[in-house]
Structure 1
């Protein structure tokens, strides 16, 4: 199975995508929400919000789906493998295996083969981080994180099936056009490419108020991030060519082989430096105004923490670059591949073609996955909301010197109180993969998966999770003010009498 997976990596296209798992975004997400929009850290219910550790991960593809019920069925922890034996003196039980898990192929279902299938995965660990609400108009945050992205695009799964299962032996062709179409589907796209990145990140964020009236609230935020590249790797080829010679009389004697050069590179931990920038704003349409000790320039008096009818957030994240200073590559002496894949005696091992003989290194710069994010949060009533989030990758999809991102659309209804939230995210991404999941937040803990519901079906092609622990320190004055505003009816701010 390992060699099959590595063989897929040789057949990759020149662009790649990755996607962050969907965490929770509510009015109590605190410092975790800075990842989506730095303006979110202001006007929260917290005086301080301390993240201890938060983990999120995602992996998906368009080719294989998982059969969860077969996995559950075989997870017998060896109980079904206990074989009783009897003797004249005692009763023995022999444990033949610790788990009932079989070969991984027993738990996957292949979709329709195509020359355009995609795979991606990522993992993020948000380390010790904190949010500090300085006053009503200013807030700052400090974050630490380790991120890992891996991407593969336009996998030729039709070719993969024919190579590994010799599916062409049972294929019939009624005309020369059918044979030519079959050969065309087996072609390897030039500049096949796959990548993986691992880096550490430290961020400093600030948010401030731009406009604050009885009915309108606008805040801006910015994050500066400093990156340290830990490792990267890639495998690609410009000239892989596959040759299929079909034997009409004896299909099993047809020839299927490929020739070409494979180049791979890697970079280890070193003086790898990068910088990133996030900017964003959040606008709230306030729906309640009540008298308190706060006046604007016109003399109107209103609550500063009134509920909103709707909230709009717009941000651009990950504008920047990441340098790897010591990248080793065999581009000047690529590995030659010349394999007859249909020979009865062939022993194809992709690891034989991944060696790097040169000791020379070079510096390479990669652009961060710049993403535009739009968020709309509608307040149905005091405790029920519906959130819509749209992420769009903003850079070129043809440049291999960029870390890519998958465009994603999410709708998530939620129930929200101070100490508890529950939400139901439903999403679809650029590749048409649909997901549905569930998540919860308490004061000190949050967890969930935006794919757990669809993972219970036989059509699940993506799985993700998120879990975290935090220490929230609430602003008691703000909480009291917010609760009081919920208990009053909407009134208009008083008007001052003109003086003559």
Structure 2
């Protein structure tokens, strides 16, 4: 179990991670495939007839406990994560936007894009329970008991998948002053790997007798599910990266509208506003090697479940086997070889306002539309940001400032030169304060008529 959690936090130390992907550049005046990822209606705002996206990579993370000094200060992150008494939340994911093309055709625009996703989440994990499962070795000099009662569904989940999308947008109305657009994307999903450990309505008492940790008087509804590489090993990032694309088995959609108040200067605007609903859909993991089972964990009377045995576990399959061997686990729903996982549906809204020539300010909001506690739900996060930017046709500099659901305020910096861009939504606060989030992205594409 500790090795599984160390993967989540080890990744945090290897990259600068944030709130939404491509913070700042995703509402750039240049337009293109990155903008269409926020709202497909933006496709008809291309500044050239063709937009070729070569590749871009974005990695992001935010959490409720660890600060930037914890990430760069060395030591075992899992030992630090569960030191408090509050519930722990962590969201982290990486996105690779592969080769894609978008093109204008009079009042229409179209795009063909590819993406890969890898995501890991901790959802509402009780700090005392997490400490018992990960830190018994360093707590070997302690002795005591903790009573845990959490009515929520505590989750450790990982997912990887790919997508191929076809997008279309059209101009609904346009005159010398106004422009109104509608766009949609249809995505073919390629589920790769999945793992979920959910403990709903957990109650019990954790005893630590000088490093020997045990659980008594415990009750919980468990869900243990895994598919692909994550069933065998949760502790290697390569298991996510090597399984971004499985077989096609799912469909999702984005839909959005966009309005522009035009500027007298050709190619510019006074106001650009958009609203979109993204990731409407799900994908099915189906294989004879899959497992999705619901259990009841019950440790009653004088019975005791030793927790030290889970210290070296690095897969859900191994944890499940240990729990079954203990005799305290009983099935409530038979094992399923096929199960659906729901994408993190979000509502996005933004407004980009011209202040003076070449200086704009963008307000952005992302609101999740589903509950993270569901075992088959890929978790999301609420984000609000404000981004001042200086922009010309070839150069752009921007300063994203955001507040995310679990990690609070962050400020970053980004830069674009022609089709090359690089940035972060949190690098400034990461360097100047003990921010609880980090991110970075880089990419390149080009446009031509």
Cα deviation for residue 127 of structure 1 reads 0.5
Tell whether 2:319 aligns with 1:353: yes
Calculate the TM-score normalised by the size of structure 1.
Answer: 0.70
Quick one: distance in 1 between partners of 2:415 and 2:211? 58
Structure 1 residues 256 and 168, CA, compared in 2 at 3 Å: closer, same or farther?
A: farther
Q: Residue by residue, what CA displacement relative to the aligned partner does 1:350-382 show, whole Å, maximum 9, x if unpaired?
A: 344244999975221222221111110001122
Deviates more, 1:328-337 or 1:311-320: 328-337
Instruction: Give a deviation string over 1:390-420, Cα, whole Å, max 9, x none.
Output: 0111124443222231010010000111111
* Matches of 2:139 and 2:282, distance apart in 1: 44
How far the C-alpha of 1:436 sits from its partner, in A, is 0.9
Q: Determine the structure 1 residue equivalent to 2:126.
A: 156
Deviations 1:167-214 (A, max 9, x none): 99588xxxxxxxxxx945x33556432222111111111111111112
Quote the Cα distance in structure 2 between the aligned partners of 1:233 and 1:400.
10
Q: Is the 8 A contact 1:68 1:455 kept in 2?
A: no
Partner of 2:261: 285
CA distance in 2, matches of 1:193, 1:124: 22
Calculate the TM-score normalised by the size of structure 2.
0.78
User: What residue is the counterpart of 1:205 in the other structure?
Assistant: 167
| Preserved CA contact (<8 Å) 2:384 2:402 | yes
Change (3 A) 1:347 1:362: closer
Q: What do the CA deviations read for 1:229-261 (whole angstroms, capped 9, x no partner)?
A: 111111223575432569xxxx96997535668
Q: Retained in 2: the 8 A contact 1:415–1:423? A: yes
Q: 1:446 to 1:330 in 2, by over 3 A?
A: closer
**Alpha-carbon distance in 1 for matches of 2:281, 2:36:** 17
Larger C-alpha radius of gyration, 1 or 2?
1
Q: Does 1:265 align with 2:220?
A: no
1:77 corresponding residue in structure 2: none
- In the alignment, the residues of structure 2 paired with residue 252 and residue 69 of structure 1 have an alpha-carbon distance, to the nearest angstrom, of 28
Whether the 8 Å CA contact 2:283–2:340 is kept in 1: the answer is: yes
SS in 2 for 1:314: strand
SS of 1:63's equivalent?
A: coil
SS of residue paired to 1:460 = coil
Q: Which residue of 1 is the match for residue 375 of structure 2?
A: 400
Task: Say whether 1:36 aligns with 2:38.
Answer: yes
- Residues 113 and 167 of structure 1: CA distance in aligned 2, closer, same or farther (over 3 Å): farther
1:50 to 49, 52, 68: 52
| Unpaired stretches in structure 2, ≥5 consecutive residues | 10-17, 229-242, 325-330
Please name the residue that 1:314 is paired with: 275
User: What's 2:86 paired with?
Assistant: 115
Residue equivalent to 1:479 = none
CA distance in 2, matches of 1:143, 1:280: 17
* Residue range with higher mean Cα deviation, 460-469 or 153-162: 153-162
Partner of 1:299: none
Contact 1:272 1:323 in 2 (8 A): no
Partner of 2:116: 146
Any residues of structure 2 matched to 1:129-208 within 5 Å, and which?
129-135=100-106, 137-161=107-131, 164=136, 165-166=138-139, 169=142, 183-184=146-147, 186-189=148-151, 191-208=153-170
Evaluate the alpha carbon distance shift between residue 195 and residue 252 of structure 1 in structure 2; reply closer, same or farther with a 3 A threshold: closer
| Bigger Cα displacement from structure 2, 329-338 vs 451-460 | 329-338
Alignment counterpart, residue 381 of structure 1, candidates 345, 352, 356: 356
Query: Tell me, what secondary structure is at the counterpart of 1:399?
Result: coil
Contact kept? 1:63, 1:157, Cα under 8 Å: no
Number of aligned positions between the proteins:
401
Task: Give the distance between the partners of 2:191 and 2:297, measured in 1 at CA.
Answer: 27
Alignment correspondent of 1:470: 445
Which residue is equivalent to 2:290? 328
Are 1:415 and 2:417 an aligned pair? Answer: no
Please tell me the root mean square deviation across aligned C-alpha atoms, in Å. Answer: 3.7
CA distance change for structure 1 residues 434 and 372 in 2, over 3 Å: closer, same or farther?
same
Deviation at 1:389, TM superposition (A): 0.5
